[in-house]
Chains A and B, each alone.
Chain A
Amino acid sequence: MQKEAKEFFNTRFHEQPVNGSALAGFRQQGLDMFNKLGIPAVKHEEWKYTRVNALFNNDLTYNLDASGISKAELDSFRLPQTANATSLVLVNGVYSPELSDIKHSVKDLLVLPLETAAAGEYGAIVKKHLGHSAAYHPDGIHALNTAFTHGGIFILGKSNRVITEPVYIYHITDSRSGFAFAQPRILAYAEQQCELQLVEYYGTIGNEGSFTNEVIEIVAEAASVLDYYKIQHEGPHANHVGTTHVRQLGKCLTNAVTISLSGGLIRNNLNMIMESERGESHMYGLYLLNGKTHVDNHTIVDNVQPNCFSNELYKGIMDEKSTGVFNGKIFVRQDAQKTNAYQSNKNILLGDASSVNTKPQLEIFADDVKCSHGCTIGRLDEEALFYLRTRGISEKNAQSLMLHAFAVDILENIKPQALKVFVDHIISERLDFNF
């Protein structure tokens, strides 16, 4: 299988349209790495609980051109109350300017095809930041995305602009003509004192199943505020490996909220690289799983400079045969004195066949730091359930009240109101009626 996949991608590599030669070298590096590292098997420590190699057993169709989906088909995925918001649409990983709709003023926000940005005025920025995440993910999956960097997007938040409306990024995978494989690549850059919100949302058309292998790299300059949301709500045949890599280049604030509601096999890598003194970052995650959904959240906080603060809270509820994985790495480099880094992962198992593997991993090379970590796995508190039932609340509703309470401290970190209502609605439906 490994060999077949390698052949497949090597053949496809040379079929890529080379309209942006500025990225040719970058792609070639990716292919070389992919050929060297291969697709990670379970013996790879970072992929121990997530059998990503199984996805390559499928007959892959890999469209290098955006397939035709209509505006109406796209609309069925649109988040409610976002008609006036900017939407950037990628179909099978390729940016579609025709389907996208940029409502923001060019004074606030600039969106360019990544190839165009790399070849033009922003070439230096692209060259400097694109691919920074590779060092954190020495595996063939990440390299494969680099090798096929094609149809990506460059997003620039302008300096001194408070951009109140979020930018919605829709990843639509079209699997109508077979198992679809998509590799979106995004570079977002928030200039100094820019406030920028990014929302990533995923949808699949067709029943054949899909695999999205995404890399998004985000750079935040001094005094910027960056909010990032990733909402996963797909069918059981939609698989996903995604890396979100955030660099703080100046003292700034970055927040990330990852909500996984459904899907097939999901792996989310989230990296916060604290490269400037006094940076602050918050990471929240909620996974609400049933069926055979597998969600693996791997996070890295890399404290490079002193006096940074990071807080991380991930919560999961697993029912039926679903599985969760949490791996939280915190690096504190030698110079990063006075680091404050907190991490917590809490899990509730509802099903007898559901499971979770959770692991905090701290590597501290400085001596004056405060780091804490904790993880819990349990069932709902029986005494609390009984208490609620003695007040006339049915067992089902008592459970739903408690699960809602468990989830709420993640949900309240979703700042765009429309998005919060949308997510809260799905969760309420699941908890109240049909988990």
Chain B
Amino acid sequence: MLKIKNLHAGIEGKKILNGINLEIKAGEVHAIMGPNGSGKSTLASVLAGRENFEVTGGSVELFDKDLLATSPEDRARAGMFLAFQYPVEIPGVSTTNFIKTAVNECRKYRGQEPLDAVAFLKMMKEKMKLVHIDQSLLSRSLNEGFSGGEKKRNEIFQMAMLEPKLAILDETDSGLDIDALRIVANGVNSYRNGENAFLVVTHYQRLLDYIVPDFVHVLYNGRIVKSGTKDLALELEEKGYDFIKNEVELTLNV
């Protein structure tokens, strides 16, 4: 599904990603962990197509197509979704109106008829239940005045509405209390169906108790320095990132 090969990227001349290699297949859940400044959010941003990041080398393919040459909207239409670490507040645009436009633009791209009002509302009601989100919240301006938890639930709601094949969750657990974390994780889990894949970017192992990954990768200095199963996350939680850093530096010194 997603193939990242030797990806180098940076911002304003500063190198942040120094050769990422990662392959994600349908049905898999990958977690990316790493200390602050290791490049986790940069990776998510580059994959989603944020313009101020500059790709200096390597390639990314989504369904065997060059992802990096594709506009952010076409990436979304092709089935990729980014849940933002900091969802943007957009005054005057209601979530309902916005998500309807988004769903129908994606459908159009895939050669499907736009949803009529009835079908759209039915779908919305279904997905709202998934993340315990209220109709009144969706009638309000997008994310404006939403609490941290409401914003993240809204991200997962949007994901469920757009039905992506690959969802990237960028620190979706940040700013969430335990209950909200559980709701968000349940939303993600019920969306898992063996055909779609997830890339979960997080600082903490806690989220991975709820969204259980198939693979865990540790990012450090813009590279994946260690990969393993969910046990790796537990080991990190126990020992901290220092053990990885030491290991890496030892390797470099050899």
Contacts and interface: CB of A to CB of B under 8 A. Distances in A.
Nearest to A408: B92
Given A404-B92, A405-B90, A386 B99 contact: no
A146 B92 CA distance: 43
A401 B101 contact: yes
B20 to A, nearest CB: 20
B48 A390 contact: yes
Contacts of B162: 391-392
Given A401-B101, A405-B93, A387 B76 contact: no
B105 interface: yes
B166 interface: no
Interface stretch (B80-88, B195-203, B207-215, B230-238): B80-88
Interface in B62-83: 71-73, 75-77, 81-82
B84 A387 contact: yes
A405 B91 contact: yes
A397 interface: yes
**Among A381, A384, A388, A397: residue with most chain B CB under 10 A:** A388
B125 interface: no
B102 interface: yes
A391 B76 contact: yes
Contacts of B71: 389, 395
Contact of A388 (B50, B90, B106): B90
Nearest to A405: B92
A382 B72 CA distance: 13
Given A383-B88, A387-B87, A392-B162, A401 B105 contact: no
A350 interface: no
| Interface bracket on A | 20 to 34
Given A386-B51, A386-B72, A397-B105, A391 B92 contact: no
A37 B51 CA distance: 55
A402 interface: yes
B243 interface: no
B231 to A, nearest CB: 33
B109 A384 contact: no
B205 interface: no
A395 B73 contact: yes
Nearest to A391: B102
Given A390-B49, A394-B105, A384 B90 contact: yes
Question: Interface of chain A, helix or strand or loop or mixed?
Answer: helix
A404 B158 CA distance: 21
Nearest to A406: B92
Contacts of B75: 390
Interface residues of B, number: 32
B102 A392 contact: yes
**Among B51, B84, B101, B162: residue with most chain A CB under 10 A:** B101
**Among A387, A391, A395, A406: residue with most chain B CB under 10 A:** A391
B33 to A, nearest CB: 23
Contacts of A368: none
A389 B76 contact: yes
A353 interface: no
Contacts of B93: 401-402, 404-405
Nearest to A409: B92
A381 B102 CA distance: 19
A405 B94 CA distance: 9
A393 interface: yes
A346 to B, nearest CB: 11
Contacts of A390: 48-49, 72-73, 75-76, 81-82, 84
Given A386-B50, A386-B51, A387-B84, A392 B92 contact: no
A391 B98 contact: yes
Nearest to B99: A391
A405 B92 CA distance: 4
A401 B77 contact: no
Contacts of B51: 382, 386
A389 B45 CA distance: 13
B24 to A, nearest CB: 18
Contacts of B49: 386, 389-390
Nearest to B83: A390
A95 B185 CA distance: 70
Interface of B: 48-51, 71-73, 75-77, 81-82, 84, 87-93, 97-99, 101-103, 105-106, 109, 141, 158, 162
Interface of A: 381-384, 386-395, 397-398, 401-402, 404-406, 408-409
Given A393-B105, A397-B101, 15 more contacts: A386-B72, A386-B88, A387-B87, A389-B73, A390-B76, A391-B158, A392-B102, A392-B106, A394-B73, A394-B105, A402-B90, A402-B92, A402-B93, A404-B92, A404-B93
6 contacts: A384-B90, A387-B88, A391-B76, A391-B98, A394-B105, A409-B92
The 8 A-B residue pairs with the shortest CB-CB distance in the complex, in nearest-first order: A405-B92, A392-B76, A391-B102, A389-B72, A392-B106, A387-B88, A405-B93, A389-B73
